[in-house]
Chain A
Amino acid sequence: MGTAQLTRDVITLKGSAAIVSEFFCYAVNSILFQRGIYPTENFAKVKKYGLTMLICEDEKVKTFINTVTKQMGDWLETGSLERVVLVIASIASGEVLERWSFNIETDKEVTEKGVTREKPDKEIMTDIQGVMRQITSSVTFLPHLDEACTFDLLVYTPPDSKVPPLWGESDARLINNPQVVKLRSVDTKVHRVDAMVAFKYDG
């Protein structure tokens, strides 16, 4: 959170983008741990947001997440990030089992005119804590993932945005007849992130 603010409560676009992309990084790692995509031993504990967060230490996974979140940060600064989706699909069948969706609303005024917003750091931290705790507790209602799964990160950008190198278009990878649970949101006054998880309905 060091680079995020110049003075105590002022939030700039850059700062907010940094907060949100960092949040994504930790949220993705947390989901990977909670859903058991990678084994427990691959994760290291880190103190963040006043909680013990778990980060995947596997090199390839780390590079992947960091590259994606860095690009997300760039997009956030231009206000062209609309949604981030973490898709959990079975390796064997390729079927999407879970879809964690983070909708982002950017305050247009900030991106266009460069004004700053005010929100106490503590409040943002509380918001993020709330979502992280919800992710952890989501294991109580999410169906058990029986098979080996992999994850993928999808990014929704406006139709006219430039596609950076190494990024390709993808389909939405939706779930048929999902159960949707809305989680808490994180609001930095510049960006508002709404989280929700959709999973296959276990009839």
Chain B
Amino acid sequence: MATKYEKMLMKSPLTITPPPRRLGLFTERHEMADSPFSPNLPSSAGCRTPRRETQGDRFIPSRSAMDLDVAYFNLKREAKENSNANVEVASPMKEEYRRKLAEKLFPDSGALQSPKILAFKRKPPPSLQVKEQTALEFLPTDARVSSPSKFLYRHIPPAPERVLDAPELVDDYYLNLLDWSCKNVVAVALGTTVYLWHADTGAIHQLMSTSVVDDYITSVAWAPDGNHIALGFNSTEIQLWDATHLTQMRRLKGHSARVGSLAWNNTTLSSGGRDSKIINHDVRIRDHMTSQLSGHNQEVCGLKWSLSGQQLASGGNDNLLHVWDAAAISSQATTHYLHRFDAHQAAVKALAWCPFQSNLLASGGGTADRCIKFWNTQTGACINSIDTHSQVCALQWSQHQKEILSSHGFSQYQLCVWKYPSMVKMAELTGHTARVLHLAQSPDGTTVVSAAADETLRFWKVFGTPPSSKKTSGGLALRSINIR
């Protein structure tokens, strides 16, 4: 084959000497191996007939199909264009160099004279402050920041501080059988009996035991004063007990089904029952039923007063979350709620009001929902919703940090600590072997107790010591006690 290029070469007056044979892959292959692409023209192209050896699998481009001189031109032109493009983004140094060079080489052309560089004579004062105190706190620092002091997550012990035996704990999602008083006493209802565990001393007392047939305790709630405790029963009544003297104070009737949830607001006790009613009782007066709220149509399993006592949140098996206004309740306007949230796809039992941000409510959904949702109860907006991939049984906010703890069911039965508001999972505490039904927090906010269907109570030091005070953990003796 003789391409145009070969023909050109053949016409050339230069004597063409064959190039030295290169050893290598392509030596035998193509005598035209490097001729068009090197500026050195000598090639034996015209002299020899092309030898094409068919060798297995090597790709040999078909030269007859290519227009070599056009290709050569294109190649050279591209290279030139690239080098041109580079000139435009040259650094000032390069520009400076070029300029000085041009000055030297073409001293007469005025167009290349350098611009004058002027600087104001009175210079600005240097900053007297030490460098470290500057705006670095403001800015997202670059990757080379040395010590991530503030963002270091504190160490959360993965194992519980202690484990207590809790036999006969009823495995029912809709009950609320655990509470921790402000006097540092944990009350837990195991079947038909309520026990009090004093965290300071480790002593256990039995508060009461019901003897009615088929009756069991369905909810437990300490009064804000820490001395009285309200118990809800399957037999539809509510009993008020004095925990210091272990005596019964009062019986409150009103529900027509078991009382699954209780919540105190100073002297008002709100109770939610399987009859889907929420009844507010004033425990001081004889005619204790002050008002009744109807909004749910199935069991009311979650009931929590806000920390300010202005709003009451109630969650039911009908997947609804209602927020009631305290003022509306007291004025006997019973049925109208402040907000009705139906975003959850399952029963809403886990409810927790945020201690550091007012009007912020967190709610957790059951097996079909598995989400934790955050609500602004002033505007009624859902601020955030995260899927936790597991039934949410209980929620507890941290008193000292911006964190929230959630307890879950199948399949991990874990407790998750989330950073708020980023909802980054800080820790996962496993240990329970069945769904973690109830959570309660110590009055100092450092420990959380979880009660699970595996009939154990586990104490986790999940929230760190409060920054201001470092209390001794004297109350919690490290012994495993059998409550029996």
Q: If A36-B131, A155-B117, A156-B117 touch, does A172 touch B92 (CB 8 Å cutoff)?
A: yes
Q: Which of A131-177 contact B (CB under 8 A)?
A: 139-159, 161, 163, 166-172, 174-177
Q: Is the CB of A163 within 8 A of B134?
A: no
Q: Is the CB of B124 within 8 A of A154?
A: no
Q: Is the CB of B121 within 8 A of A61?
A: no
Q: Is the CB of B122 within 8 A of A166?
A: yes
Q: If A39-B133, A144-B144 touch, does A152 touch B117 (CB 8 Å cutoff)?
A: no
Q: If A178-B91, A182-B89 touch, does A37 touch B127 (CB 8 Å cutoff)?
A: yes
Selecting from B135-143, B210-218, B285-293, the interface stretch reads B135-143
Q: Is the CB of A154 within 8 A of B93?
A: no
CB distance from A129 to the nearest CB of B (A): 19
Q: Is the CB of B118 within 8 A of A168?
A: yes
Chain B residues with Cβ below 8 Å from A174 are 92-93, 96
Q: Does A190 contact B (CB under 8 A)?
A: no
Number of A-B contacts (CB under 8 A): 132
Q: If A91-B126, A143-B142, A180-B91 touch, does A36 touch B118 (CB 8 Å cutoff)?
A: no
Q: Does B153 contact A (CB under 8 A)?
A: no
For A37, give the chain B residue with the smallest CB separation: B127
Q: Is the CB of A166 within 8 A of B134?
A: no
Q: Is the CB of B119 within 8 A of A167?
A: yes
Q: Is the CB of A150 within 8 A of B114?
A: no
- What does the 1/0 interface line of A178-194 toward B look like (CB < 8 Å)? 10101000000000000
Q: Does A82 contact B (CB under 8 A)?
A: yes
Chain B residues with Cβ below 8 Å from A154 are 117-119
CB distance from A187 to the nearest CB of B (A): 18
Q: Is the CB of B126 within 8 A of A39?
A: no
Q: Is the CB of B131 within 8 A of A147?
A: yes
Interface residue range, chain B: 35 or more
**Majority DSSP secondary structure for residues of B touching A:** loop
For A56, give the chain B residue with the smallest CB separation: B124
- What does the 1/0 interface line of A78-99 toward B look like (CB < 8 Å)? 0000110100000100000001
- Of A139, A150, A167, the residue contacting B142 (CB under 8 A) is A139
Q: When chains A and B are docked, how far (Å) is the Cα of A68 from the Cα of B136?
A: 27
Q: When chains A and B are docked, how far (Å) is the Cα of A128 from the Cα of B20?
A: 63
Q: Is the CB of B116 within 8 A of A39?
A: no
Q: If A163-B116, A167-B118, A172-B117 touch, does A178 touch B93 (CB 8 Å cutoff)?
A: yes
Q: Does A38 contact B (CB under 8 A)?
A: yes
Q: When chains A and B are docked, how far (Å) is the Cα of A163 from the Cα of B124?
A: 20
Q: Is the CB of B126 within 8 A of A150?
A: yes
Chain A residues with Cβ below 8 Å from B141 are 139, 144
Q: Does B73 contact A (CB under 8 A)?
A: no
Q: When chains A and B are docked, how far (Å) is the Cα of A82 from the Cα of B145?
A: 38
Q: When chains A and B are docked, how far (Å) is the Cα of A71 from the Cα of B119?
A: 11
For A161, give the chain B residue with the smallest CB separation: B116
Q: Is the CB of B118 within 8 A of A61?
A: no
Q: Does B24 contact A (CB under 8 A)?
A: no
Q: Does B120 contact A (CB under 8 A)?
A: yes
Q: Is the CB of A148 within 8 A of B131?
A: yes
CB distance from B103 to the nearest CB of A (A): 12
Q: Which of B91-135 contact A (CB under 8 A)?
A: 91-93, 96, 113-127, 129-131, 133-135
CB distance from A19 to the nearest CB of B (A): 22
Q: When chains A and B are docked, how far (Å) is the Cα of A149 from the Cα of B125?
A: 10
Chain B residues with Cβ below 8 Å from A146 are 131
Chain B residues with Cβ below 8 Å from A175 are 93
Q: When chains A and B are docked, how far (Å) is the Cα of A98 from the Cα of B121?
A: 20
Q: Is the CB of B116 within 8 A of A58?
A: no
Q: When chains A and B are docked, how far (Å) is the Cα of A43 from the Cα of B114?
A: 37
Chain B residues with Cβ below 8 Å from A42 are 127
Q: Is the CB of B93 within 8 A of A169?
A: no
Chain B residues with Cβ below 8 Å from A148 are 126-127, 130-131
Chain A positions near chain B (C-beta within 8 angstroms): 33-34, 36-40, 42, 58, 60-61, 64-65, 67-68, 71, 82-83, 85, 91, 99, 101, 139-159, 161, 163, 166-172, 174-178, 180, 182, 198
Q: List 13 A-B contacts (CB under 8 A).
A: A37-B127, A60-B125, A65-B124, A68-B120, A101-B92, A139-B142, A146-B131, A156-B117, A159-B114, A168-B118, A168-B121, A174-B93, A180-B91
